[in-house]
Structure 1
Amino acid sequence: MIELLALESGHGGRHSATTAGLPRTPGRLDSNLVKIAHVRERNAPAGTPWRLAVARDAGAGRWLDLEEARQGLVVEDPHRAHNSALFRQPVTTLDDHLARGMRVEALAEIVEGYAAADDDDEAILPVTDLRFGPPILQPPSLRDFYAFERHVKTIWQRRGATVPEAWYRLPIFYFGNVSEVRGPGDPVWAPRGSEELDYELEVGALVDTPAIDLEPDRADEAIGGYLILNDWSARDLQRDETTVRLGPAKGKDFATTIGPWLVTPGELADARAGEAYALQMTAHVNGLETSHGAWSSAQFSFGEMLARASADVHLRAGDLIGSGTVGSGCLLEVKDEVLKRYLQPGDTVTLAIERLGTLTTPIVDRPSDGTEHGSRPS
C-alpha cells in the first residue's frame, strides 16, 4: 500500500495517509506553478540569502518573488494569515517550505492570488538581474540510480563482462554526498589525485512529502518536480575503488550539480510516454555535442525507483533521486569518439533536457586557498 505521510494541501490542511495517495488533480500546477527556483541578484555577495521565486512567463524571463508576493497578499487581506498556514510565516527557501510540512504545489496559492501591477512591481524580478542557486539547497539525502540500459551495457562491456541479471530486476542506487550540492554556474574541479574528471547527464526528481513503502505504480505521486542533475565523476578514483567492490566513494562524492530550476509534473504531462517522458537529453563541452539520449529510454520509472528507495524506510521531503546516466551521457562512454579526453580546467559543460532547461558548469583548477575543505560555492 502506498503511504504518503502528512501531505499538505494548498490551503494548509493535511490529508490523512489513507487519502493522500489519490491522484493529483491537474489545474493549478499546470497553469500557474511550473518553474520554481532559488534566486538572488546577479552581483550579490556570496552568502546573500536565496529567495524563492516562480517563473511568471513561459520563457522564464520574469520571476515572482514569493515572499514579496505573500506580504502583499496579507496586507491586502489579513484573513489569509488566519486561514492558511502558507501565509502565516515568511516564504524563504524551498527547503524551509518543505520542512514546514507543505508540498511544492501549495505555493500555487500565492501565485494564483497575486496580480502584479506592472513590471515595476518589486515582486517581479527580470531574469537578466538574477543568479540561480540549487533548486533544493540541502537535500536530506541523495540517492542516485542506474536506470538506463545502454549506459549500463557499455560500462560492463568495457570490463569484458555482461550486465548482471540482478540489474534487470532491481533498481540499484548509491548514496551521494549532500554536502557538495552545487547550482547553475558554480565551478567544479577534479578532486585531489584525479586526472579523469567526467560529467554524467541525468534527470533528478525531488520528493516533497514523507513517504514509506511506496507502490511502483503510484510512487511518483510523491514527486514535487524534476530537474537536471550532473553526477560528476572522477573515473580514475572510481576505477580503483571498484576493484575492492565497495563504493562509489571518493570517485563520486566531491560534487553534484542540480538546476537550473524545479519543473512541476503538470508541465510535463503532455510529453508522457509510458512510465517516463519523451524528452531529449543532450550534453555539450565547449559547444560541441558530446551526448544525446532520451528520458523515455529508461529501464526503470521513477515510480519503480521510489518504490525501491522507500522499501522499509522513510523518505523525507526534500530527498533527491537521480535517474542514473542516460545512454551516451558521459565521456567514459563517448570520449574516444568525440572529445578524445576527459574534462580539463577551462572547459564548460552544458547539460540540457527538454522542458527542464539548461545547466552550465565551468571547470576550473582545484583551489589552493582551502576552498576544497568544506566550503562549496555559495
Structure 2
Amino acid sequence: MRWVTYDGGDGVRTGIVDEDSIRGLGPGVDLLSLVELGASGLAEAGASARRSPHEVRRLEDVRLLAPLPRPTSMRDGLCFLDHLRNARRALRMPGDIDPAWLDGPGFYFTNAGAVLGPYDDVAIAAGSRMFDLELEVGAVIGAGGRDLHPARAEKHIIGYTLFNDWTARDHQMRDFALGIGMGKSKDAATTLGPALITADELEPLRDGDGRLSIELAASVNGRELTRGNLALMDWTFGELLAYISRGVDLAPGDVIGSGTVPGGCLLEHVDGADPAEFTWLSPGDVVSLWGGVLGETRQTVVPGVDVTPLRLT
C-alpha cells in the first residue's frame, strides 16, 4: 500500500493512495499510530480505508505532507561508499577511505523535528552559503527490537520513502573541526515522501541477491545530477539495522536513511574547485528526487534567515 499524510483544508489526515485519489481515515488517526500496530495492523487499516473510507479526495486537491511528519527518531547511515570516495576525490583529499568504513556502516542522529513534506519549500540553513541536497531512501521501522541479526533485520522495516538529507557544507566543515559528529550541518531540514510504500509492495523488486532494486535519480532545475540503484548499497539495510540496534532498542516509527546514492549531492561534483566558490543551491532552485515506485519529490529552495553573532562586539 501507498500511505500518505495530507491536508485537504480541514485538518491533517492519513490515507492510502488509490490511483489519482486518496481514501482517507477519520480525524485523529495518524500514520505513526498505525505503524505502531505493526505490518498486520497497518494492512488492516488500509483494508478499512479501501473498503469504507471516511473521505475520498483527489490527490490534486490536497497538500501532501511528510508521511511521518514527526518520526520517533531519525538516523542517517552511509551505506554507499562511493559517495564518500567521490566527495574525497572532488575535494582532492589524498588516499582512500579509512579502513573503518569497510568494517561496518556509519550513521548519525539527525533532527526529527525538522521534517519537510515532498513539495514544501526548503529554506537554506541559517547562515549557510554552501547548501546541498542528498539523494537517499529512508526505511521506516515497524517492529521494534534490539541486537537484530543482519540476515533478518529487514523484517523489521514496515516501509520505505524517499529521503533528502539537506546539508549545509560550510557548517559541516565546522562540525568536522569540532570532532563530535554532525551538528548544525544537518539540523535544518530532511525531506520525507511523497508516501510510505509498505515493504510487501516492494518484494517483487528484489534481485537475485535479495536486494531491493529501485532506480533512483536526483535533478536540479530539470538537469539530472545522478542516477543510481538502491541495490548497489555496500552495506545493506539489514546490516545497517543490525549495527544500529547493537545494545539499543529500535522503535516503531524510527526512520533510517540509506546514505547518499553516489553522485547524488553537489559536493561530489565540486571536481577540485574551491568549495567556497562553487555554485551551491540558491533561492529559486528546484530540487527533485525520483524513485520509481517510491514516487517523486519536488521542492523550491527559498532564502534562509540571517544569524545573530553569538557575541556582540
TM-score of the pair, normalised by structure 2: 0.89
**In the aligned structure 1, how far is the partner of 2:51 from the partner of 2:156?**
31
The CA deviation at 1:210 is: 2.0
Q: Which residue of 2 aligns with 1:351?
A: 289
Match of 1:142 among 74, 77, 87: 74
Residue 13 of structure 2 corresponds to residue 56 of structure 1: no
Residue 118 of structure 2 corresponds to residue 220 of structure 1: no
Larger Rg: 1
**In the aligned structure 2, how far is the partner of 1:65 from the partner of 1:217?**
36
Unaligned regions of 5+ residues in structure 1, if any? 1-33, 68-89, 369-378
Residue 150 of structure 2 corresponds to residue 205 of structure 1: no
One-letter code aligned to 1:218: R
Q: Which residue of 2 aligns with 1:332?
A: 267
Identity of aligned residues (%): 35
Matches within 5 A, 1:112-123: 112-113=47-48, 123=55
Aligned-residue Cα RMSD (Å) equals 2.1
TM-score of the pair, normalised by structure 1: 0.75
The CA deviation at 1:113 is: 4.8
Q: Which residue of 1 aligns with 2:64?
A: 132
One-letter code aligned to 2:173: R
Q: Which residue of 2 aligns with 1:27?
A: none
Q: Which residue of 2 aligns with 1:96?
A: 33
What SS class does the counterpart of residue 251 from structure 1 fall into?
helix
CA contact (8 A) 2:4 2:194 kept: yes
What SS class does the counterpart of residue 113 from structure 2 fall into?
helix
**In the aligned structure 2, how far is the partner of 1:175 from the partner of 1:113?**
35
Runs of 4+ in 1 over 6 A off after TM superposition: none
Match of 1:366 among 301, 304, 310: 304
Match of 2:175 among 241, 244, 255: 241
* Count of residues in Structure 1 that have an aligned counterpart in Structure 2: 299
Higher strand share: 2
The CA deviation at 1:193 is: 2.3
> Aligned pair in 2 of structure 1 residues 127, 240: CA closer, same or farther (>3 Å)?
same
> Aligned pair in 2 of structure 1 residues 342, 126: CA closer, same or farther (>3 Å)?
same
CA contact (8 A) 1:275 1:301 kept: no
Residue 226 of structure 2 corresponds to residue 259 of structure 1: no
Q: Which residue of 1 aligns with 2:311?
A: none
One-letter code aligned to 2:21: R
> Aligned pair in 2 of structure 1 residues 297, 183: CA closer, same or farther (>3 Å)?
same
**In the aligned structure 2, how far is the partner of 1:110 from the partner of 1:254?**
33
The CA deviation at 1:367 is: 4.7
One-letter code aligned to 2:13: R
The CA deviation at 1:104 is: 4.2
Q: Which residue of 2 aligns with 1:36?
A: 3
**In the aligned structure 2, how far is the partner of 1:277 from the partner of 1:335?**
30
Match of 1:293 among 204, 228, 236: 228
More contact order relative to length (CA 8 Å, sep ≥ 6): 2
